[in-house]
Amino acid sequence: MKGLWLLPFLAVPAFAQLHWNDRQKEFHVLQGSTNLVARYTFTNSGTNDVIITSIQSSCSCCTTVSSDRKTYHPADKGVVTVIFNTAGRIGAQDRTITVSSNDPEEPRATLKLLVKISSPTKIEAAKPPAPLIQIKPVLLEWKKGEQKDPKTILLDVTGDKPIHVLSVKSDNAKLVPKLQTLIAGQAYTIMVTPANTATPAKGTLQIETDASEKNWKTITVPVAIVASARKKS
């Protein structure tokens, strides 16, 4: 009779293990805001109960640090709640919460709380939208008695959509504009020639476009012949 082979029973050791969904929380609040609440959720992914023995914070500014209960059976889910008091604080705040338990894999789990507290007076104002047409220069000038050579304004369309310059008019007959298309819908020049520079003169160019935005349908550019600055004695 053949002998029987007896295989020893191998017991699987029971263990407890907390699996944290997110160990770090980040907040950005304004100074003077009310207390903020951070919640750290976890699951007991082991085969034994987990008992939380203590939860400690690195700062007394965390007024409440607690778990929803002390004992977590296998597959149980839990949460550690931290209430952070923002009163009297400004700038970056870095806090550590330590959760102690009978978890053999990690008896002391470390959680992070990062809070940036900004002063309302230091919040940057919303930047104005970028101009659809860039104009250089924004003012044309000739000195009194200067040679009456033409001067040029460059218009560059900076938006995604093309904008066509339809016409240019001057409200002063002594300052004569001439429109030239470099790239249709993208780039134009306006050459302005003074009739003479013997006397001071002021005028405004009125530039009409087909822009869909109301603010860019009509653009004005000042032009002038100014008196020469007096020399210091």
Question: What tens-digit pLDDT sequence spans the chain (233 residues)?
Answer: 444 444 444 444 556 688 898 899 888 888 877 778 888 888 899 999 999 999 998 888 887 788 888 999 999 988 888 888 888 888 899 999 999 999 988 999 999 999 898 887 654 555 566 678 888 888 889 998 888 899 999 888 876 688 999 999 999 998 999 999 887 888 888 999 998 888 888 999 999 999 998 889 999 999 888 876 444 44
- Is there a single domain that holds both residue 141 and residue 214? yes
Per the domain annotation, does 9 fall within a domain?
A: no
- Is there a single domain that holds both residue 62 and residue 156? no
pLDDT score at 231: 47
Per the domain annotation, does 39 fall within a domain?
A: yes
- Is there a single domain that holds both residue 40 and residue 77? yes
pLDDT score at 186: 82
What is the rounded distance in angstroms from the CA atom of residue 36 to the CA atom of residue 24? 15
Per the domain annotation, does 233 fall within a domain?
A: no
Per the domain annotation, does 211 fall within a domain?
A: yes
- Is there a single domain that holds both residue 98 and residue 147? no
Structure tokens at 32: 């003077």
For the CA atoms of the chain, what is the radius of gyration? 37
- Is there a single domain that holds both residue 210 and residue 143? yes
pTM score, two decimals? 0.47
- Which domain CATH number covers 46? 2.60.40.10
Last residue of a domain, one of 99, 120, 141: 120
Last residue of a domain, one of 70, 93, 120: 120
- Is there a single domain that holds both residue 97 and residue 178? no
- Is there a single domain that holds both residue 116 and residue 199? no
What is the rounded distance in angstroms from the CA atom of residue 211 to the CA atom of residue 185? 10
- Is there a single domain that holds both residue 85 and residue 162? no
Parent domain of 137: 133-226
- Is there a single domain that holds both residue 53 and residue 116? yes
At 71, is the secondary structure helix, strand, or coil?
strand
Structure tokens at 110: 């470390």
- Which domain CATH number covers 181? 2.60.40.3450
pLDDT score at 26: 87
Per the domain annotation, does 34 fall within a domain?
A: yes
Question: What is the total count of domains within the chain?
Answer: 2
CA distance to 58, 204, 205, 207, per residue, from 139 (Å): 61, 10, 10, 14
Contact predicate 81/55, CB 8 Å: no
- Is there a single domain that holds both residue 114 and residue 155? no
- Is there a single domain that holds both residue 29 and residue 114? yes
- Is there a single domain that holds both residue 106 and residue 23? yes
Last residue of a domain, one of 66, 91, 120: 120
pLDDT score at 100: 94
Per the domain annotation, does 4 fall within a domain?
A: no
Per the domain annotation, does 196 fall within a domain?
A: yes
What does residue 122 show for φ and ψ, rounded to 5 degrees? -100, 0
